[in-house]
Amino acid sequence: MNLRAGRLPFQVQIVDSPATVTAHAGLPLVIEGFRALGLATAVREQVHFKQRLRGYPEAMCVETLVALLAAGGECVDDVRILHADAGLLRLWGCTALPAAETLRAFLGRFHDDAGERARVPHTAYIPADSAGLKGLAAVHEQLLRALQARVKQTHATLDVDATVIPSDKRTALPLYEGGTGYQPLQVCWAEQGVWVQSQFRDGNVPAQSGVLEIVQQSMARLRGLGVTQFAVRSDSAGYQHALLDPLRTANIPFAISADLSPEIRAKIQALPEAAWRPFRQWKGAELVHLDREWAEVEFIPTEASTKKTLQPDRYLVIRARPRQRELFADGASVHYYATVTNRWDWDGERLLRWSHERCGTVEPAHDVLKNELGGGVLPSYRFGVNAAWWQLVVLTHNLLVALKSLALPDDCQSLRPRRLRFLLFSMAGRLIRHGRRLILCLAQDHPGTALLLGARQRLFAPTG
């Protein structure tokens, strides 16, 4: 059938799905990375649901969902787009992918009915991970292990932050900022750019809950991978002695946003004008003054640390003067931002810049998870299903980071998933058979062609 109406000089003809072409010529790189880094093997060893030989194995379901998220899918039904690309299936080495209903059933196996019944709408509750979610955590650890084996890091700066996922699901619970949804708490490894831990939570669970536990779990996981030095950065959710005391005792450097209590605010406002110094921030390769000042203030909280013998913490404050204060809700002419730290070896300005680098790691990464990898569109009203979906989103994020680090050149390290799709994953390719080999033909002048060839060469290069 020919459709002649249009404004450009071409016609459209509807034919059967051709197996000789693909619209996702670069997407197999994600699948090859998934397998080359040992994730398929880890799924087979750690995630066990099937009791019969029929149907798709767990590894194929996880692999399909990761490829779907990397390709830009936001719901399970989007797998039909990949399923319709017969050329992609030939490159994948399969005749069909798990159907949407199969993937829904697979995700449903991560849900724990007993844990669901323990949830109380008006009580903050963090359910224990189901066996399936523990298996995904082991797969996640395998990715970190594979990354460490190729790009060794012995230092880990752990950035702790929670993120809000608004949701109208009937079982979603109230958020502190209004509405309903969920609020995962996560730990990012700044040096590698990957998530170390991610705990999916209901919206009514305070961000302050369980911060120490997730930091300790992150450190234990990374110590097993050869990391020997740690530092911790957090927003004010980490401003609690339950976290600070163990960090002080272990002499682990930290920089954490401090709550502006009336006592510390009074100390700040009593500072003489001479105590304030220009606060410079990086603008490109240059340090510039952006109308902010910083100062150091002597302050000991009323709720003192239980570790009386430790050196007191150091409090640093930034003073910002809004240029259009009428646009701010409080209309204040001055805003203060306090940071508490146990680092005395650095100049205060340098330390504040280091503390603020946390915003450049976790906030963009949260944006990627929710707006570029399907994390903002949860698939179910069941908590365990949403938790599994979120963990797969985090796994996909880390896999793409690992692929950039291991297989792509330096000028591609800042590329976000949306850009990777446009440049690499969604290339058109033609398939031919020659001498019993399947060959993917790519346009020589397409920018993604050289990237794909170089990436496969680096990914499968001998290590060590």
* Among 98, 99, 101, CA closest to 59: 98
Q: What's the pLDDT tens digit per position in 153-168? A: 999 999 999 999 999 9
Phi-psi group of 303: left, alpha or beta (phi > 0 → left; psi -120 to 50 → alpha; rest → beta): beta
Instruction: Work out the number of other CB atoms within 10 angstroms of the CB of residue 218.
Output: 23
pTM for this one? Answer: 0.92
Q: Are strands 155-162 and 12-13 parallel, antiparallel or unpaired?
A: unpaired
- Which of 178, 193, 173, 244 is closest to 215 using CA atoms? 244
- The Cα 79–Cα 59 span in angstroms is 16
The stretch 56-69 carries a mean pLDDT of 96
Q: State residue 435's pLDDT score.
A: 81
The span from the CA of 128 to the CA of 99, in Å, is: 29
In this prediction, residue 420 carries a pLDDT of 96
Condensed to tens digits (0 to 9), the pLDDT of residues 193-241 reads 999 999 999 999 999 999 999 999 999 999 999 999 999 999 999 999 9
- Confidence bin at 4 (pLDDT 50/70/90): low
- Among the listed residues 63, 60, 73, the one whose alpha carbon sits nearest the alpha carbon of residue 30: 63
Give residue 1's pLDDT. Answer: 46
Domain extents for the chain?
15-112+379-459, 255-301+311-341
The one-letter code for the residue type at 86 is A
Share of the chain above pLDDT 70, in %: 91
Distance of alpha carbon 203 from alpha carbon 284, whole angstroms:
37
Task: Say yes or no to pLDDT of 49 above 80.
Answer: yes
pLDDT at 430: 93
Question: Residue 423: pLDDT above 90?
Answer: yes
Kindly report, residue by residue over 390-409, the tens digit of the pLDDT: 999 999 999 999 999 999 99
Cβ(209)–Cβ(238) under 8 Å? no
Higher-pLDDT residue of 297, 301: 297
User: Is-contact 3 46, C-beta < 8 A?
Assistant: no
- Percent of the chain past pLDDT 90, that is, above it, reads 74
CA angle 195, 186, 132 (to 5 degrees): 80
Mean of pLDDT over the chain? 90
